[in-house]
Amino acid sequence: MKKLILIAAIIFGCLSIKTADAQVSVSLGLNIGSQPDWGPVGYDHADYYYMPDIDTYYDVPTHRYVYLENNVWVHRTYLPARYANYDRYHGYKVVVNERNPWERHDVYRTRYANYRGRRDQVVIRDSRDERYRNHWHDNGNHNGQRDHGDRGRGHDRGEGHDRGEGHDKGHGHGHDRD
């Protein structure tokens, strides 16, 4: 009887380990929940956003901006004062899934120069896709309307502003894995 219990415990333990491995690999591949409300729709995973309007990257997993300051790439939780008027909700973002994309910055600057000034990209906040449910802000209305309130507004050390200007009607662009 003891042998039977021991064998059952070993088999159960092996099955549990395999299940845990599968769960880990799935959770590492998706990061929809960590993408900001102002990120472009359509991506289950994004390492960085390149913002051609301000020649800056946003590191999605660490929630930090990467930009040139005195000829050095710096990582900050805020944008510098020179970008205080940049509108993250309406500025175009290109998803870049490459390690340290700023090391090939000339490539990205050239490749996406024609996206500067574009304002036709749908952002996560404005999507009704079920994948972005945790980004919906109901404000207690329970009638399916989104609360556009003050999220993203304000003067938080130059991180951009939500001006509430219309709704974007474009689509995300760019799956770089070079």
Q: Are strands 94-96 and 64-69 parallel, antiparallel or unpaired?
A: unpaired
Does position 158 have pLDDT exceeding 90, yes or no?
Answer: no
pLDDT in tens, 34-68: 899 999 998 889 999 999 999 999 999 999 999 99
* Count of Cβ atoms closer than 10 Å to residue 93 Cβ: 27
Does position 92 have pLDDT exceeding 90, yes or no?
Answer: yes
Mean pLDDT on 170-176 = 40
pLDDT in tens, 1-34: 666 665 655 665 555 544 333 333 233 477 777 8
Where does residue 38 rank: exposed (0-12), middle (13-18), buried (19+ CB within 10 A)? Answer: buried
Q: In what order do the strands lie in the sheet with 94-96?
A: 72-76, 64-69, 56-59, 48-51, 94-96
Domain-embedded: residue 56: yes
Domain-embedded: residue 128: yes
State the pLDDT at residue 11. 60
Domain-embedded: residue 44: yes
**Distances from the Cα of 83 to the Cαs of 79, 87, 89, 155, in angstroms?**
6, 9, 14, 11
- 3-state class of 68 per DSSP? strand
Domain-embedded: residue 16: no
Does position 144 have pLDDT exceeding 50, yes or no?
Answer: no
Domain-embedded: residue 125: yes
Does position 152 have pLDDT exceeding 60, yes or no?
Answer: no
Query: Which pLDDT band holds residue 172 (cuts at 50, 70, 90)?
Result: very low
Domain-embedded: residue 59: yes
Distance (Å, whole) CA 75 – CA 100: 11
- 3-state class of 121 per DSSP? coil
Residue 65 · residue 77 · CB < 8 Å: yes
State the pLDDT at residue 127. 84
| DSSP state letters, 123-176 | BGGG---GGGGGG---TT--SS----SSTT-S-STT-----------------B
Parent domain of 40: 31-135
Domain-embedded: residue 162: no
Domain-embedded: residue 168: no
Q: What is the number of domains present in the chain? A: 1
